[in-house]
Amino acid sequence: MKDHLSVFTIIFYPFNGENRQTIFDNPYAQYKVNLLSLYFQDKINLGRLRLSPGVRIDYTDLPNKPVLSRQVQSSHMDPNYGNTYTYTPLSQLNNDYLTKPAISPRLGFTWDVTEDRSVVVRGGSGIFVGRIPFAWLGHAYYNDGVGFGSYDYNSPTAAQLAANGDPLVRGNFPKWQNSSKVQVDLIDNNFKMPRVWRSSLAFDYTFAGHKLTLEGIYTKVLYDLKFQQVNKTDNVTYYSYDTNHEMPVYTTNINSNFSNAYLLSNTREGYRYNLTAQISKSYNFGFNFFVAYTYGDAKDITNGVLNSMESNWQMNQSLTPNDPKLTTSNFAIKNRVVANLGYGFDISKSNRLSANVYFNAQSGNPFSWGFVNSTIANTGQAAGLSYIFKDAAEAAKYIVPIKDASGNVLVTAQQQIADYEIFVSGNKYLNTRRVKFMERNGDFTPWNIQADFKIMDEIRLSERSKNNIQISLSIINLTNMLNKNWDKVYFVPNTFNSTANVGLTKVGNVAAGQPSAGDPTYNFKTPGLPYTVDQFASRFQAQLGVRYNF
């Protein structure tokens, strides 16, 4: 049951020694989740104004909660608590969550200003409740340290191996359990399902057959998700170049019984919005069109796209992973243009031919620059943000020669620094971050642009019959058919939560006695492009369809 993205060597096993087949037939993490909802809505007509008030009641029932182990309940307090992050101390956890219903009122309205619907104002506001992937709860049940758990040993000594035997042999598990650390996944007191307050306002204006729409939607987070690793002693240091103390460097764990203690809790930070302008019209001779432009943004502290508390924490690119700052969401699309052109005409009374071109162009996907599968802050993260040196002189303090096992220089520091300067100067975003740290999702891939085409012949079996046959040809990514270099689809692989390698690899630390003693030293190798091309989506595709409607 170990998440494959972990950087720790951990093995899960039942404390009672049950074999694999027994575990498969009788999984330890057995629990039920009951989702109950009740909704009331009314419609009130007040002349030109129509109101739609409503209220929804949601209750998430979790009949049996994960067990809190004695190690959790007796865990001592960090004497440095609150220096860089806060949380509910482990000894104060009581599993008092998902015990109250969520009441979500909302109100929608439509106002026909001119009584002929040529000018309409509409909108609404309300609270909406979501849910979490319940697989996360499964980790809390397995990683309880009571009936099922894990041991964690990185590079065991010869003496430990001699005393405990092979750690992969099931019969030796109890020995390692007594001499190793365990991982626990925990849920904060009063944890609530995700909840937002969403409001919208729109104006519809019809003139000379054209319909113009202006609409805005704003969503404010009331309760979102927060993942922490709460076994890190909050007695931190900072590297000398981190003059604003943005990236704390951790040293030790609070409780030596735990390798990791992951906590799922809530945050009230986060919002998203979009503004849309659209115009459309249908003409009597068969032509129709619409064009829309949307500008938006989305901010959050984590995206919650991975399959465990551990991975959501490890892959959250933050300088302060236990107190992540509000920044661009993985799902933020700044600009989007959508258009459709259509034309249809009757070949005969029972035969109609139509064609449509659909166009979509949108800003690229956000991604982060940093370290892939490594960290320089001793946090255990598998995706971290890096610092950009001011110039070649500052880079010279930290970039060291690349050597082979015998100590022979393969690439000099001077060559690496020159390559680093070319790389940073050649990237618009990186060049703006000099003497600064990278931002989570601070950069974007190129725009994604695509046009699709469809032509359809609709044949009625007779003039009065409702039955018809539709024969269609659809071409997806039409412009790529015209030129193979057009309309590529770009993305950053999600393996490390859309993190691109900045090319720096930590190899040591500045020696004592130097002005920057203790700071990390690096080797640099120019990385490839931060994004890749979706080879399938970037190719044109054609589909021939036949459909019979009756």
349 versus 329: the higher-pLDDT residue is 329
pLDDT confidence bin for 167, thresholds 50/70/90: confident
Look at residues 253, 480, 494, 275 and name the one whose alpha carbon lies nearest to residue 379: 253
**pLDDT per residue over 28-72, tens digit each?**
888 899 999 999 999 999 999 999 999 999 999 999 899 998 889
pLDDT confidence bin for 179, thresholds 50/70/90: low
pLDDT (mean) for 469-487 = 91
Cβ pair 279, 291 in contact under 8 A: yes
Q: How far apart are CA 9 and CA 181, in angstroms?
A: 11
The confidence score (pLDDT) of residue 482 equals 87
- How far CA 342 is from CA of 120, 212, 548, in Å, comes to 26, 18, 22
Q: How far apart are CA 27 and CA 186, in angstroms?
A: 19
* CB proximity list for 174: less than 8 A, separation 6 or greater: 15, 17
Look at residues 253, 55, 68 and name the one whose alpha carbon lies nearest to residue 144: 68
**pLDDT per residue over 357-379, tens digit each?**
999 999 999 999 999 988 899 88
Length of the chain, in residues: 550
The confidence score (pLDDT) of residue 142 equals 84
Cβ pair 152, 182 in contact under 8 A: yes
How high is the mean pLDDT of the chain? 90
Burial of 544 (0-12, 13-18, 19+ CB in 10 A): exposed
pTM over 0.85: yes
The confidence score (pLDDT) of residue 303 equals 87
The confidence score (pLDDT) of residue 296 equals 97
222 versus 380: the higher-pLDDT residue is 222
**pLDDT per residue over 435-458, tens digit each?**
999 999 999 999 999 999 999 999
The confidence score (pLDDT) of residue 8 equals 37
For residue 9, pLDDT beyond 50? no
Cβ pair 68, 145 in contact under 8 A: no
For residue 168, pLDDT beyond 80? no
Look at residues 503, 502, 500 and name the one whose alpha carbon lies nearest to residue 532: 500
Q: How far apart are CA 519 and CA 241, in angstroms?
A: 8
pLDDT (mean) for 401-422 = 95
Tokens, residue 549 = 């409607």
What phi and psi values does residue 107 have, to the nearest 5 degrees?
-145, 125
- How far CA 531 is from CA of 302, 369, 372, 413, in Å, comes to 21, 11, 14, 27
**pLDDT per residue over 211-250, tens digit each?**
999 999 999 999 999 999 999 999 999 999 999 999 999 9
The confidence score (pLDDT) of residue 151 equals 61
User: Beta strands 258-267 and 210-229: pairing type?
Assistant: antiparallel
Tokens, residue 453 = 């085409």
Local structure of 141: helix, strand or coil = helix
